[in-house]
Structure 1
């Protein structure tokens, strides 16, 4: 009777009594350390206690700051609340925030809700179950008062987020309940569209790099030179024809680079240290390179057809020049592979020199002339220097692949001599033109200081960066050459 009277008078003592009983029976699992609620009083000293825990409190051996556990009634209610929460989340296994646990207003720790911040309960998470339908990371607390916090404080409680990771197990995160918002309805569509756009940009960049755009100066400067000769000698230039002609030469040049990439890879010439690793690094597939090359050749044919209607040049002359250049770009590595039998230098010397200059001049004036062939010699020699430096750099790998180039045939010493001739002979020709005809032809001599470092690097056999630097020299020298022709006084240029 005395025990029942005390437990009804001080509700917290009932929990102490049950805690002591659970400790003695060895059934206590989870505990949380708290202090006695403010405002509560101890039982009067001198009154007998019915349990050992009560006796310890009376004598002062056990302070109100004690370890308490759930009562059986509270554990049953907590399990029911957790089961209902699991039934809300488990069927769809969707990544939704678990709703705040239900509150037991009549629980033994209701006083705890008066100061939820000061007496915040500590939590422990269990390891998430794998392959089960339970909410991963179920939070187990020693006091039901943690579930009975005030409504405004429960919003800031930590919640558990569960969802499948695609491998049959569960992954879980923690967050803040008030920050949980369902994802926008169009978020998946937006992400997918951005992913597709990113893939398209990467694919386009891969195609552009496969064209080797840094080498396009070898085809643009001959077009500019032929058009400048047409303007200076005949006094007329059609800008539309100039643009279409430039596109035609560029697409044929790009298609030739793709053919070179494909056959060098198929013959095992390209490797991880090669300058062109489009297929070696699997940036593009071989069939993509083939299709892209065929597309560029077809586009070149359409441009030539358009030139036939825009220019007064006869069809047979137009077809002869165009298909001559197209065949050279393909046969350089495709078909019989002129590059592999030491004839690649001859092909480049003719195609990217006299042939391209004649093509640009003919579509402007409407007839064929030998004059562009003479003016194309300085530019053709400098363009050939690009190829020769590239072949000299790849001399060892070409030997291992079993192909023959001019650099392999003549050796490093004669390759150095030939490179110097290809670099410095154009400057000699410019000096002759400047002294005998017009001073404007001395403009290309401004690039002469760039040639001496290339000669020193070639002599020391530092071939790594020479092709790129020679390409830059070719572009600048070609531009100054074109400007020199345009700025020349009327009638000052030599005629044949």
Structure 2
């Protein structure tokens, strides 16, 4: 073990492995799903809490999986400028990270049993596919994160599915359809919920884009063809701008609908932060600059999601 590794406590190492700077990608969409449920008068606290815990467990499990598989495949090297990876950095033995990955996904499955009982086949498919997709992101014979498909995975699972799935389990819990429905009951995934999910999808993917822009050179050398590697700096930065812009377009679109009021525009308060971090992403490429930008994008997502949730819920609760 290196001297640097020896100076890091086990607790801090595990916290680094969980990557707390990325956790808004798992939590913010669920919170938005709760805000939508309040807006539509279908709030169900226990399913909402289970969805929140399950989403965080899947996010952390995926982080452990990426840390482990990137290390054993030799993708993480000493030239990488990102946050320290605990497996490649010798902070935690690979077998322990692998065990933590398996344990975290197992806990997610246990939480998911309750959600499956309520949501039925749709939640069973979502839950199992989320775990499989998290494992295959950097693991397996064809890790799709190495072939430009990571952005699509994050957009779908940590955006669209996270928001709509959270809303769905609450909506179906308020209906008299019994346990384990085998179909999507009518009205459990309204179009407004799908539209709202695009904001979280945009910002969660933007977190990944910052990460991948920072790692373009090291990923290219390691043979990891992320979308940023395939697109290059210019188009990856434009992707980031488009994803952030989408997050601010969504509240405006919902505001135009008769059933959403002015409060839904509350996320626009975070535009100055969005402009500030976007300026960094457009002009910098070093880890020294983009590591803070990644954290600030996570903070932007958390703030945007919280204000969006408040804006969605306020007309119902006041």
TM-score range with shorter-chain normalisation?
Answer: 0.7 to 0.9
Task: Give the structure 2 partner of residue 419 of structure 1.
Answer: 240
Unmatched 5+ stretches in structure 2: 1-7, 173-184
Structure 1 residues 432 and 246, CA gap change in structure 2 (3 angstroms)? closer
2:179 corresponds to 1:373: no
Task: Give the structure 2 partner of residue 280 of structure 1.
Answer: 88
TM-score in terms of structure 1 length: 0.55
Greater helix fraction, Structure 1 or Structure 2: 2
1:32-51 pair list within 5 angstroms: none
Structure 1 residues 489 and 240, CA gap change in structure 2 (3 angstroms)? closer
8 Å contact kept, 2:267–2:307: yes
How far has the Cα of 1:476 moved from its partner?
A: 0.5
1:394-405 pair list within 5 angstroms: 394-405=215-226
8 Å contact kept, 2:38–2:316: no
1:468 paired residue among 271, 288, 295: 295
2:282 corresponds to 1:455: no
Structure 1 residues 308 and 455, CA gap change in structure 2 (3 angstroms)? closer
Aligned length: 287
User: How far apart, in 1, do the equivalents of 2:45 and 2:190 lie?
Assistant: 23
User: How far apart, in 1, do the equivalents of 2:14 and 2:111 lie?
Assistant: 21
8 Å contact kept, 2:148–2:225: yes
2:16 paired residue among 205, 209, 214: 209
How far has the Cα of 1:425 moved from its partner?
A: 2.7
Alignment RMSD, CA only?
Answer: 2.1
Say which SS state the counterpart of residue 139 (structure 2) adopts: coil
How far has the Cα of 1:370 moved from its partner?
A: 4.6
TM-score in terms of structure 2 length: 0.84
User: How far apart, in 2, do the equivalents of 1:265 and 1:324 lie?
Assistant: 24
2:36 corresponds to 1:229: yes
Task: Give the structure 2 partner of residue 269 of structure 1.
Answer: 75
Task: Give the structure 2 partner of residue 341 of structure 1.
Answer: 147
Task: Give the structure 2 partner of residue 176 of structure 1.
Answer: none
How far has the Cα of 1:364 moved from its partner?
A: 1.1
User: How far apart, in 1, do the equivalents of 2:139 and 2:254 lie?
Assistant: 39
User: How far apart, in 1, do the equivalents of 2:316 and 2:194 lie?
Assistant: 21
1:182-201 pair list within 5 angstroms: none
8 Å contact kept, 1:382–1:423: yes
Provide, for residues 203-248 of structure 1, a one-character-per-residue CA deviation record: whole Å limited to 9, x for no partner.
Answer: 3443232111221111111111112222221x24232222222111
8 Å contact kept, 2:33–2:164: yes
How far has the Cα of 1:434 moved from its partner?
A: 3.4
8 Å contact kept, 2:33–2:163: yes
How far has the Cα of 1:405 moved from its partner?
A: 1.3
Structure 1 residues 410 and 365, CA gap change in structure 2 (3 angstroms)? same
2:172 corresponds to 1:352: no
How far has the Cα of 1:268 moved from its partner?
A: 1.9
Task: Give the structure 2 partner of residue 218 of structure 1.
Answer: 25
8 Å contact kept, 1:441–1:488: no
User: How far apart, in 1, do the equivalents of 2:51 and 2:252 lie?
Assistant: 30
Structure 1 residues 425 and 241, CA gap change in structure 2 (3 angstroms)? closer
Provide, for residues 298-347 of structure 1, a one-character-per-residue CA deviation record: whole Å limited to 9, x for no partner.
Answer: 111111113345x3x22x22211111211221111111211101111111
Q: Which structure has the bigger radius of gyration?
A: 1
Task: Give the structure 2 partner of residue 158 of structure 1.
Answer: none
Task: Give the structure 1 partner of residue 177 of structure 2.
Answer: none
2:169 paired residue among 363, 372, 394: 363
8 Å contact kept, 1:438–1:489: no
Say which SS state the counterpart of residue 403 (structure 1) adopts: coil
1:80-95 pair list within 5 angstroms: none
User: How far apart, in 2, do the equivalents of 1:417 and 1:321 lie?
Assistant: 30
How far has the Cα of 1:430 moved from its partner?
A: 2.3
Unmatched 5+ stretches in structure 1: 1-200, 491-496
8 Å contact kept, 1:255–1:297: yes
Say which SS state the counterpart of residue 161 (structure 2) adopts: helix
2:230 corresponds to 1:409: yes
User: How far apart, in 2, do the equivalents of 1:447 and 1:305 lie?
Assistant: 37
User: How far apart, in 1, do the equivalents of 2:283 and 2:38 lie?
Assistant: 43
Greater strand fraction, Structure 1 or Structure 2: 1
User: How far apart, in 2, do the equivalents of 1:246 and 1:459 lie?
Assistant: 33
User: How far apart, in 2, do the equivalents of 1:301 and 1:288 lie?
Assistant: 20
User: How far apart, in 2, do the equivalents of 1:238 and 1:458 lie?
Assistant: 39
User: How far apart, in 2, do the equivalents of 1:408 and 1:281 lie?
Assistant: 23
